């Protein structure tokens, strides 16, 4: 049992295994927010146009490094966006050259900027087989997109209709089911002994669908996959605090300027890069599981990706509530920072 009076915790520097940094002025504003506390991050490739080829990833990585403060010692881990036209040899070459850590599978139309995603899984089978052979991980947005499937069921249906057949066909492929939101996904990952991991976001450990919809609609809590019932949130917390190596942090911090969130058809995405570690410390503290925070945010991810954990550390200290700005300013406009709905007592010293 954790010490209820614990007031200080030093852990290996965390990594973010699912992050959107965007480009241009937005990139310049949000990259330092992540680099402040995190050592590395898996960078999502859903730019417009997407990061598809090795050369795109090289250029994007250069643009990221140009805006990360030198003192931060932050390393972006690049991903390639799989399309039905992807050339398997380019993906494997990018991995072998240390350019692309993983590739990302978006079902076409599943989420923000996924129009170039995959409609027909058999079209990407050659690249997935090549990735399995090379040991290159596949990050998956695990939702079906059929309009007849209820949006709250899309993750569970994806597991049955896409993930299980895929893993049966290519069992050696190392898959990360990203931003899991359901008990179904937690159970599936837990029951799968090999080659399957899952990321969990900060906000899905904190909000359920009532936070989005009850007592007025709150667009800043709208993201994809959409938050589910409370029992699913509890299952996610149990997975995160369990220490089980297959579950690790991927914030899915996904900035959109306020005018893009607050409109008739608002964008999906929660921006949590600024206050994620304070939020997580609060969640783990309330659950009596602070000693498991390091596994979730700093150890399990590198182990799955076959990378060493970071050498440096961060220290979290409990005290008076820490104030985070409600917004960050970007060259494109203001971005609202995730509001967990409770005071954050844990300060981060990186
Ligand atoms: C992400 C975005 O805005 O790029 N949005 C989101 O709601 N999570 C895309 C994604 O990861 O689904
Ligand atoms: Zn995402």
Is there a domain that residue 2 lies in? no
Q: 320 C-alpha to center of ligand 2: Å?
A: 32
Q: 149 C-alpha to center of ligand 1: Å?
A: 19
Gap between the Cα atoms of 164 and 88, Å rounded: 22
User: Active-site residue among 16, 184, 252, 285?
Assistant: 252
Q: How many residues does the chain have?
A: 350
Gap between the Cα atoms of 127 and 118, Å rounded: 12
Is there a domain that residue 111 lies in? yes
Pairing of strands 313-318, 346-349: antiparallel
CATH of the domain at 179: 3.20.20.140
| Ligand 1 atom nearest residue 268's Cα | 7
User: DSSP letter at 210?
Assistant: H
Instruction: Pick the ligand that lies closest to the CA of residue 142.
Output: 1
Print pLDDT tens along the chain (350 aa).
456 678 999 999 999 999 999 999 999 999 999 999 999 999 999 999 999 999 999 999 999 999 999 889 899 999 999 999 999 999 999 999 999 999 999 999 888 888 889 999 999 999 999 999 999 999 999 999 989 999 999 999 999 999 999 999 999 999 999 999 999 999 999 999 899 999 999 999 999 999 999 999 999 999 999 999 999 999 999 999 999 999 999 999 999 999 999 999 999 999 999 999 999 999 999 999 999 999 999 999 999 999 999 999 999 999 999 999 999 999 999 999 999 999 999 999 99
Is there a domain that residue 1 lies in? no
Is there a domain that residue 3 lies in? no
Is there a domain that residue 327 lies in? yes
Is there a domain that residue 230 lies in? yes
Split into its structural domains, the chain has a count of: 1
| Ligand 1 atom nearest residue 106's Cα | 12
Gap between the Cα atoms of 162 and 185, Å rounded: 13
Active site residue 252: yes
Q: 282 C-alpha to center of ligand 2: Å?
A: 23
Q: Which domain holds residue 199?
A: 8-349
Buried b (16+ CB within 10 A) or exposed e, 253-287: bbbbbeebbeeeebbebbbbbbbbbbbbbbbbbeb
Q: 85 C-alpha to center of ligand 2: Å?
A: 22
Taking the model in full, what pTM does it have? Answer: 0.97
DSSP assignment of 319-336: -SPPP--SEEEETTEEEE
User: DSSP letter at 284?
Assistant: H
Per-residue CA distances from 274 to 113, 188, 212, 260 (Å): 23, 31, 21, 20
Return the best residue to mutate from 212, 269, 271 for the ligand 1 pocket (most ligand atoms within 8 A of CB): 269
Per-residue CA distances from 232 to 84, 106, 156, 192, 219 (Å): 33, 23, 12, 19, 20
Helix (H), strand (E), coil (C) string for 74-91: CEEEEEEECCCCCCHHHH
Which residue's CA lies nearest to atom 11 of ligand 1?
A: 252
Helix (H, G, I), strand (E, B) or coil at 101: strand
Is there a domain that residue 273 lies in? yes
| Ligand 1 atom nearest residue 178's Cα | 11
Return the best residue to mutate from 221, 254, 260 for the ligand 1 pocket (most ligand atoms within 8 A of CB): 254
Q: Which residues line ligand 1 (CB under 6 A)?
A: 20, 46, 111-113, 141, 223-224, 252, 254, 268-269
Is there a domain that residue 294 lies in? yes
Q: At what angle do helices 54-67 and 88-96 cross, to 10 degrees?
A: 40
Q: 42 C-alpha to center of ligand 1: Å?
A: 14
């Amino acid at each position: 049992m954790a010490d209820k009076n614990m007031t200080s915790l030093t852990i290996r520097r965390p990594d973010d295994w699912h992050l959107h940094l965007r480009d241009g002025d937005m990139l310049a504003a949000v990259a330092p927010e992540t680099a402040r506390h995190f050592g590395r991050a898996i960078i999502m490739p859903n730019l417009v146009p997407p990061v598809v080829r090795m050369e795109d990833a090289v250029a994007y990585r250069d643009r990221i490094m140009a805006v990360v403060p030198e003192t931060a010692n932050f390393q972006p881990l690049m991903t390639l966006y799989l399309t039905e036209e992807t050339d398997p040899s380019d993906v494997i070459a990018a991995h072998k050259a240390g350019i692309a850590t993983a590739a990302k599978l978006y079902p076409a139309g599943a989420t923000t900027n996924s129009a170039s995603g995959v409609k027909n899984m058999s079209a990407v089978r050659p690249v997935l087989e090549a990735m399995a052979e090379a040991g290159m991980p596949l990050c998956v947005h695990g939702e079906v997109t059929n309009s007849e499937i209820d949006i709250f069921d899309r993750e569970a249906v994806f597991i049955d209709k896409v993930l299980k057949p895929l893993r049966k066909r290519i069992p050696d492929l190392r898959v990360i089911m990203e931003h899991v939101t359901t008990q179904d996904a937690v159970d599936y990952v837990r029951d799968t002994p090999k080659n399957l991991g899952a990321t969990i976001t900060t906000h899905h450990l904190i909000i359920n669908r009532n936070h989005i919809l009850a007592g007025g609609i709150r667009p800043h809590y709208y993201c994809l996959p959409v938050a589910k019932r409370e029992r699913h949130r509890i299952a996610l917390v149990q997975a995160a605090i369990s220490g089980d190596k297959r579950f690790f942090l991927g914030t899915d911090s996904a900035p959109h300027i306020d005018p893009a969130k607050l409109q008739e058809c608002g964008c999906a995405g929660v921006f949590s890069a600024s206050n994620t570690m304070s939020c997580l410390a609060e969640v783990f503290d309330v659950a009596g599981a602070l000693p498991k925070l390091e596994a979730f945010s700093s150890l399990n991810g590198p182990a799955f990706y076959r990378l060493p954990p970071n050498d440096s550390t961060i220290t979290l200290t409990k005290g008076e509530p820490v104030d985070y700005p409600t917004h960050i300013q970007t060259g494109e406009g203001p971005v609202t920072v995730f509001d967990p709905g409770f005071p954050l007592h844990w300060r981060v010293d990186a």
